[in-house]
Structure 1
Amino acid sequence: MGQSRSPLDVAGLELLAARGWRGTEEARLGDWLLRAGGGFTGRANSALVVGDPGMPLPDAVDAVTCWYTDRGLRPCAMLPGRQSRAADDAFAAAGWERDEDVLVLTAALTPGAPDGVPVTLSPEPDEAWLAGYRHRGLPLPPSARAVLGNAEEVAFAAVRLDPPPAPLAAVARGVVTDDWLGVAAVTVAERHRRQRLATAVMAALQRWGADRGARWTYLQVSAANAPARALYRRAGFIEHHRYHYRYAPA
Structure 2
Amino acid sequence: MGQRRSPLGVEDLQRLAARGWPAPEQAPLGDWLLRAAGGFTGRANSVLVVGDPGLPLPDAVDAVARWYAERGLTPAAMLPGTASRRADAAFAAAGWQAQDRTLVLTAPLGPAVPPSVPVDLRPAPDDAWLARHRDGALPAGALEVLTGPEDVVFASVGGPGPVVAVARGVLTDGWLGTSALSVAAEHRRRGLATALTEALRGWAVARGAHSSYLQVTEDNAAARALYRRLGHIEHHRYHYRRLVT
Which TM-score tier does this pair reach, normalised by the shorter chain? over 0.9
The Cα of 1:142 is off from its aligned counterpart by 2.9
Instruction: Provide the rounded CA distance (Å) in 1 between the counterparts of 2:239 and 2:156.
Output: 29
* Structure 1 spans left out of the alignment, 5+ residues: none
TM-score w.r.t. the length of structure 2 is 0.97
Q: Give yes or no for contact 1:2–1:107 (8 Å, CA) kept in 2.
A: no
Instruction: Provide the rounded CA distance (Å) in 2 between the counterparts of 1:65 and 1:173.
Output: 31
Instruction: Name the residue aligned to 1:141.
Output: 138
Tell me the number of residue pairs that the alignment of Structure 1 and Structure 2 aligns: 244
Matched, 1:87 2:84: no
Instruction: Provide the rounded CA distance (Å) in 2 between the counterparts of 1:139 and 1:190.
Output: 17
SS of 2:67's equivalent in the other structure is helix
Matched, 1:155 2:153: yes
Q: Give yes or no for contact 1:2–1:109 (8 Å, CA) kept in 2.
A: no
Matched, 1:222 2:217: yes
Identity %: 62
The Cα of 1:140 is off from its aligned counterpart by 5.1
Instruction: Name the residue aligned to 1:244.
Output: 239
Instruction: Provide the rounded CA distance (Å) in 2 between the counterparts of 1:2 and 1:150.
Output: 33
* Structure 2 spans left out of the alignment, 5+ residues: none
SS of 2:5's equivalent in the other structure is coil
Instruction: Provide the rounded CA distance (Å) in 2 between the counterparts of 1:154 and 1:178.
Output: 12
Instruction: Name the residue aligned to 1:26.
Output: 26
Instruction: Provide the rounded CA distance (Å) in 1 between the counterparts of 2:175 and 2:241.
Output: 27
Instruction: Provide the rounded CA distance (Å) in 2 between the counterparts of 1:198 and 1:227.
Output: 11
Q: Give yes or no for contact 2:39–2:139 (8 Å, CA) kept in 1.
A: no
Q: Give yes or no for contact 1:133–1:139 (8 Å, CA) kept in 2.
A: no
Which aligned runs of 4 or more in structure 1 are off by greater than 6 angstroms? none
Q: Give yes or no for contact 2:105–2:234 (8 Å, CA) kept in 1.
A: yes
Q: Give yes or no for contact 2:115–2:194 (8 Å, CA) kept in 1.
A: no
| Counterpart residue type for residue 40 of structure 1 | F
Instruction: Name the residue aligned to 1:9.
Output: 9
The Cα of 1:88 is off from its aligned counterpart by 0.2
SS of 1:233's equivalent in the other structure is helix
SS of 1:242's equivalent in the other structure is strand
Matched, 1:177 2:172: yes
Q: Give yes or no for contact 1:76–1:245 (8 Å, CA) kept in 2.
A: yes
Instruction: Name the residue aligned to 2:184.
Output: 189
The Cα of 1:2 is off from its aligned counterpart by 4.3
